[in-house]
């Protein structure tokens, strides 16, 4: 206790942030790898529980930890589209995608698409889509890193992003997927402890009840927040379709959902377990681990906003500006207090993110600032800072390895240099990580929006490009390479062009975007249009072009069907836990799960 009282926020933040970073680096040293199987898929030896934690950390990025509660807090009811989309999408991924891809084996999503559609063109386009999705996604993570380090360590945002990416890149270079998996499992523990502590602490602070969900009901704090906002003319909190139309709510939620099932860095995690049954089990663990945080998010959003309004509204401007946490966050540029009407008192009559508001708060600082606003102990504030950094770094780890694998394995090795040695492939993979880190640093310094918004754009690209060929590749035996490539190109190009046009003010440096909406949807929702185009084009083209080879159709059946389901018809069983039965040197059935396994030869190499 004396130690806690003797140290301030900055000291605890420094200790906890640096301490966790040292642990992450130590794991990378211990898990140093020298072969491609360990580098790409951790040798397929990760236990289901550990992989579940790693998947959860990979999934719950800076968007979930830092920005999600901020969005729900500022948007109210409409902010729940992110909760519905991201959680619903994970169910789709766990039930329809992950077990089948693990059963098929291989290393990456482009690997599956290239082999399933017997086409290196399909492989290359899928690898390109992986790069677009990953680079967009990682921009949001780096913004989260910059926010945490600039506020809690007083580090310049640019310097903070560069330092964090250097660490992430080093972990990836040294240990590949093996080090990243164990690092992410540790990072999950850090971020979930931080989120639970701050939510329980503010619940106790505001209601006297340390159990947040129970306190939300017994104290009726949601109703009190709605009444409070109505009194100050900020608008009711629990009112649907206030910020988004019904079409936008549906489209954004569905885009996030199917985009989730197409995220390359998340799907890759299911290749690291020993079998398809372990993939299903790790998905179950991941859903449980994710639920812990997601059940806390709406509660924390309500508590944080209620406490913020109660603290600042009606306070003298000069008094508010002298509050320590206000001073610290004002220095970051993410909080602004003004006296628009000149009465010397804060009037919070506008939304927290409205430009005319006397209190402007970036949604990304709601969670990080909550412990300070609530007057919680300095160690709690430091824990939250470490948790926010862990959330951002864990996803950045996965994204870098996804980009590295797409270039070094799918493009360099599978397309251009199939004779490349293992050493050459590892060198290329490590170089790509470093290059991707440099590009990610630039995007993090110049992000096209706040954290969750940037991440949502990545989900839109994944929904429009990778999800359709993956789903059709598993469940449509008639889908061929012509259909898959055509659909993928159309969906990706269409969505990418619209996103650039709608974000031209950020991406191209223009004063105004070329488009505000397209058929009623903004940049966050147009991915659903791209996905529909992808499905339609792929289906139509595949029906007017030759069917895939017989061995490909049999392969699809074998990946999808359980053992014995075709015995009556063909007399052939299917390995339940991993790929097609093959004969090994010892005469026993073995799982097809490495890139050395014979696959149908691609035709357009």
Q: What percent of the chain has pLDDT over 90?
A: 13
Mean predicted confidence (pLDDT) in 433-454: 72
**Domain-embedded: residue 124:** yes
pTM check: above 0.85: no
pLDDT band at 569 (very low <50, low <70, confident <90, very high): very low
Are residues 119 and 204 both part of a single domain? yes
Which residue's entry shows tokens 């399933």?
116
Q: Is 22 exposed, middle or buried (0-12, 13-18, 19+ CB in 10 A)?
A: exposed
Q: Is the pLDDT of residue 182 over 70?
A: yes
* Angstrom distance (rounded) from CA 494 to CA 194: 40
- The domain boundary residue, chosen from 543, 568, 597: 543
Token pair recorded at residue 322: 């002298």
pLDDT digits (tens, 9 = 90+) for 418-434: 888 888 888 888 888 88
Are residues 126 and 222 both part of a single domain? yes
Q: Is the pLDDT of residue 267 over 60?
A: yes
Are residues 115 and 238 both part of a single domain? yes
Backbone angles phi, psi at 352, to 5 degrees: -65, -25
Are residues 460 and 475 both part of a single domain? yes
Mean predicted confidence (pLDDT) in 337-354: 81
Please report the pLDDT score of residue 454 as a whole number: 67
Do residues 49 and 196 make contact, with C-beta atoms less than 8 angstroms apart?
no
Domain hosting 168: range is 9-303+378-543
3-state SS of 139-201 is HHHHHHHHHHHHHHCCCCHHHHHHHHHHHHHHHHHHHHHHHHHHHHHHHHHHHHHHHHHHHHH
pLDDT band at 69 (very low <50, low <70, confident <90, very high): confident
Are residues 149 and 285 both part of a single domain? yes
Are residues 270 and 332 both part of a single domain? no
**Domain-embedded: residue 473:** yes
CA angle 38, 44, 50 (to 5 degrees): 105
Please report the pLDDT score of residue 236 as a whole number: 76
Are residues 43 and 81 both part of a single domain? yes
Q: Is the pLDDT of residue 597 over 70?
A: no
Please report the pLDDT score of residue 562 as a whole number: 53
Beta strand pairing status for 359-361 and 582-583?
unpaired
- The domain boundary residue, chosen from 543, 577, 597: 543
CATH of the domain at 114: 1.20.1730.10
Q: Is the pLDDT of residue 4 over 70?
A: no
Which of 92-106, 290-304, 382-396, 436-450 is modeled with the greatest confidence?
290-304
Are residues 330 and 390 both part of a single domain? no
Q: Is 224 exposed, middle or buried (0-12, 13-18, 19+ CB in 10 A)?
A: middle
- Return the minimum-mean-pLDDT range out of 73-87, 98-112, 144-158: 144-158
Q: Is the pLDDT of residue 368 over 70?
A: yes
Token pair recorded at residue 215: 């306190």
Q: Is the pLDDT of residue 595 over 60?
A: no
State the chain's maximal CA–CA distance in angstroms.
86
Residues in contact with 453: Cβ distance below 8 Å, sequence separation at least 6, in sequence order: 140, 524
Nearest to 20 by CA among 152, 191, 163, 232: 191
Are residues 282 and 314 both part of a single domain? no
Are residues 235 and 330 both part of a single domain? no
Are residues 282 and 239 both part of a single domain? yes
* Angstrom distance (rounded) from CA 219 to CA 85: 28
Please report the pLDDT score of residue 211 as a whole number: 92
**Domain-embedded: residue 181:** yes
Are residues 42 and 106 both part of a single domain? yes
Query: What distances in angstroms separate CA 494 from CA 247, 464, 529, 531, 570, one per listed residue?
Result: 20, 8, 9, 10, 43
Mean predicted confidence (pLDDT) in 31-37: 76
Token pair recorded at residue 56: 């959860």
**Domain-embedded: residue 164:** yes
**Domain-embedded: residue 521:** yes
Q: Is the pLDDT of residue 605 over 50?
A: no
Mean predicted confidence (pLDDT) in 267-286: 82
Residues in contact with 354: Cβ distance below 8 Å, sequence separation at least 6, in sequence order: 360
Distance, C-alpha 33 to centroid of its chain:
25
Coil vs helix vs strand at 455: helix
pLDDT digits (tens, 9 = 90+) for 499-557: 888 877 665 666 777 788 888 888 888 899 999 999 999 999 999 999 999 989 888 88
Please name every residue paired with 583 in a beta bridge, in sequence order, or none if there are none.
589
CA angle 399, 417, 438 (to 5 degrees): 30
Which residue's entry shows tokens 């490909």?
552
Q: Is the pLDDT of residue 589 over 70?
A: no
Do residues 600 and 115 make contact, with C-beta atoms less than 8 angstroms apart?
yes
Q: Is the pLDDT of residue 480 over 60?
A: yes
**Domain-embedded: residue 561:** no
Mean predicted confidence (pLDDT) in 429-442: 85
- Return the minimum-mean-pLDDT range out of 147-161, 183-197, 278-292, 587-601: 587-601
Do residues 32 and 179 make contact, with C-beta atoms less than 8 angstroms apart?
yes
Number of structural domains (the chain) is 2
Nearest to 461 by CA among 408, 500, 507: 500
Mean predicted confidence (pLDDT) in 230-244: 79
State which H helix or E strand residue 359 sits in.
strand 359-361
Mean predicted confidence (pLDDT) in 304-312: 87
Q: Is the pLDDT of residue 452 over 60?
A: no
Which of 110-124, 125-139, 448-462 is modeled with the greatest confidence?
110-124
**Domain-embedded: residue 110:** yes
């Amino acid at each position: 206790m004396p130690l806690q009282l003797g140290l301030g926020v900055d000291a605890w933040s420094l200790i906890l942030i640096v301490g966790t970073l040292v642990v992450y680096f130590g794991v990378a040293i211990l898990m140093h790898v020298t072969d491609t199987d360990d580098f790409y898929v951790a040798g397929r030896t990760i236990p289901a529980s550990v992989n579940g934690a790693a998947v959860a950390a990979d999934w719950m990025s800076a968007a979930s930890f830092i920005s999600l509660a901020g969005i729900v807090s500022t948007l109210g009811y409409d902010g729940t589209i992110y909760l519905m989309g991201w959680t619903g999408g994970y169910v789709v991924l766990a039930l329809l995608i992950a077990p089948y891809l693990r059963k098929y084996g291989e290393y990456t999503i482009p690997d599956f698409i290239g082999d399933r559609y017997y086409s290196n063109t399909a492989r290359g386009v899928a690898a390109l889509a992986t790069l677009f999705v990953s680079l967009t996604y990682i921009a949001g993570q780096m913004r989260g890193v910059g926010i945490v380090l600039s506020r809690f360590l007083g580090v310049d945002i640019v310097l903070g992003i560069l330092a964090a990416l250097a660490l992430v890149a080093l972990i990836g270079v040294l240990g590949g997927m093996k080090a990243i998996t164990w690092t992410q499992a540790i990072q999950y523990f850090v971020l979930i402890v931080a989120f639970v502590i701050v939510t329980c602490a503010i619940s106790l602070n505001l209601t006297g009840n340390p159990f947040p969900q129970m306190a939300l009901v017994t104290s009726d704090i949601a109703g009190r927040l709605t009444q409070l906002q109505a009194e100050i003319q900020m608008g009711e909190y629990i009112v649907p379709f206030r910020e988004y139309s019904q079409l936008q709510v549906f489209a954004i939620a569905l885009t996030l959902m199917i985009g989730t099932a197409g995220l390359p860095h998340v799907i890759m995690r299911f290749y690291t377990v020993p079998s398809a049954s372990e993939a299903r089990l790790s998905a179950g663990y991941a859903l449980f681990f994710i639920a812990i945080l997601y059940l806390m998010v709406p509660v924390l959003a309500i508590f944080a906003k209620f406490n913020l309004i109660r603290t600042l509204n009606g306070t003298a401007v000069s008094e508010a500006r002298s509050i320590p946490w206000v001073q610290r966050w004002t220095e970051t540029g993410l909080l602004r207090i003004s006296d628009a009407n000149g009465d010397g008192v804060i009037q919070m009559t506008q939304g927290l993110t409205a430009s005319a508001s006397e209190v402007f708060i970036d949604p990304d600082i709601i969670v990080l600032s909550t412990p300070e606003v609530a007057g919680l102990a300095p160690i709690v504030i430091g824990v939250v800072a470490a948790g926010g950094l862990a959330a951002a770094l864990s996803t950045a780890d996965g994204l870098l390895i996804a980009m590295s694998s797409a270039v070094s394995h799918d493009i360099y090795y599978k397309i251009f240099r199939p004779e490349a040695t293992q050493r050459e492939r590892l060198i290329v993979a490590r170089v790509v990580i470093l290059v991707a880190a440099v590009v990610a640093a630039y995007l993090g310094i110049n992000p096209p929006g706040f954290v969750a918004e940037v991440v949502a754009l990545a989900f839109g690209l994944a929904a429009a490009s990778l999800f359709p060929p993956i789903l059709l590749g598993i469940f449509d035996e008639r889908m061929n390479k012509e259909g898959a490539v055509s659909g993928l190109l159309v969906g990706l190009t269409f969505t990418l062009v619209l996103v650039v046009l709608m974000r031209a003010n950020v991406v191209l440096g223009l004063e105004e975007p070329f488009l505000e909406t397209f058929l009623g949807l903004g940049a966050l929702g147009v991915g659903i249009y791209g996905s529909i185009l992808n499905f339609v084009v792929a289906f139509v083209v595949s029906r007017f072009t030759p069917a895939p080879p017989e061995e490909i159709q049999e392969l699809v059946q074998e990946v999808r069907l359980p053992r014995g389901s075709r015995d009556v018809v063909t007399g052939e069983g299917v390995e339940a836990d991993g790929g097609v039965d093959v004969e090994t040197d010892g005469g026993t059935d073995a799982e097809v799960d490495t890139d050395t396994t014979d696959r149908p030869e691609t035709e357009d190499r």
